[in-house]
Amino acid sequence: MLDLAFMAEIAPKMAAALWMTARISLLAVVLSILVGALLTAARMLGGRWARYAVVVFVEFTRGAPPLVHISIVYFLLPQFGLLLSEFWTGVVALSMVGAGYTVEIFRGAIESIPEGQSDASRALGLSPLQGFFLVLLPQATRRSLPPLTNELANVVKASSLLSVISVNELTKVANDLIFVHFVVIEVLIQLTALYLLIIGVLMAVSRWLEARLA
C-alpha cells in the first residue's frame, strides 16, 4: 500500500518545488506575452526585414525542441558575457519558446478581426502603431484567450525540462527524492497531482477570464 507517512514527510519539499515551478512559469508567461505582442507588431507593421526576422524566429522556436532552446540559452549567453543564474536562464529560455508560439496566436487572432476596424482607426487619426495596440490587440486578446491558455499550460509543462540545468523545480526535486529514498510510486503520484493542480487552476482562471471578457 501507499506509504502515507512518507508522502506527508516529503510534502514540504514538494511544496517548495511547486512554488519554484509556479514562479518560473508565471514570469515566463508574462514575458512571452509581452515579447509575443511586440514581435507580432513588428511582424505586421514592420518592414520586410523585420517581417523576415520574426518569421525565422517563429519557425526556429516552433521547429526545434524546447530542450535545445534551453541548451542554447544555457551555453551561449555566458559566451557573450551574460552570466545568468539557472533560474533566469530558465525564464529566458521558456519566454523565448513561449513568445514564438504567442506570435502565431496573436497574428491569427488579429487577422480574424474585420479589416474595417483598422481602416476606422486610421480614419479617426490614429497612427498604425496606436491602431495596433489600442484597437486591434485588445480585441484580439479575447479571441486568443483559449489558444493562449493552451500555450501557457505548455509553458508550465516545459518548465519541467529545466531540471536538466538543475533548477530545483517540481520534476527535479521529485527525481532527487526518488533517488535518495528509492520510493517511486508515492513520489510520482504526488508529482502528477501537483502538475494537474497547476494546469487545472490555469484552465479555471482562463475560463473565468473568458466569461468576464465575453
How far is 168 from 163, CA to CA, in rounded Å? Answer: 7
Q: What are phi and psi of 133, to 5 degrees?
A: -80, -30
Site membership for other proteins, residue 207 (CB under 8 A): no
Site membership for other proteins, residue 200 (CB under 8 A): yes
Q: How many angstroms separate the Cα of 182 from the Cα of each of 166, 172, 176, 195?
A: 20, 15, 10, 21
Phi-psi region of 167 (alpha: psi -120 to 50; beta: other; left: phi over 0): beta
For residues 43 and 105, the answer to whether their CB atoms sit within 8 Å is: no
Q: Which of 117, 139, 168, 175 binds other proteins (CB under 8 A)?
A: 175
Q: Which stretch binds other proteins (CB under 8 A): 40-48, 88-96, 115-123, 145-153?
A: 145-153
Q: Which of 25, 89, 149, 160 binds other proteins (CB under 8 A)?
A: 160
Choose among 47, 29, 48: nearest CA to 37. 29
Shortest separation between residue 35's beta carbon and other proteins, angstroms: 17
Shortest separation between residue 175's beta carbon and other proteins, angstroms: 6
Q: Smaller CB distance to other proteins: residue 79 or 85? A: 79
Q: Could you tell me which residues come within 8 angstroms of residue 178 by beta carbon, excluding any fewer than 6 positions away?
A: 184, 187, 188
Q: Which stretch binds other proteins (CB under 8 A): 43-51, 83-91, 125-133, 173-181?
A: 173-181
Q: Which stretch binds other proteins (CB under 8 A): 109-117, 138-146, 163-171, 204-212?
A: 163-171
Site membership for other proteins, residue 84 (CB under 8 A): no
What are the grid coordinates assigned to 203, written together?
484552465
Q: In residues, how long is the chain? A: 214
Binding site for other proteins (CB under 8 A): 58-60, 62-68, 71-72, 75-76, 79, 101, 104, 150-151, 153-154, 156-161, 163-164, 171, 174-175, 178, 184-185, 188, 191-192, 195-196, 199-200
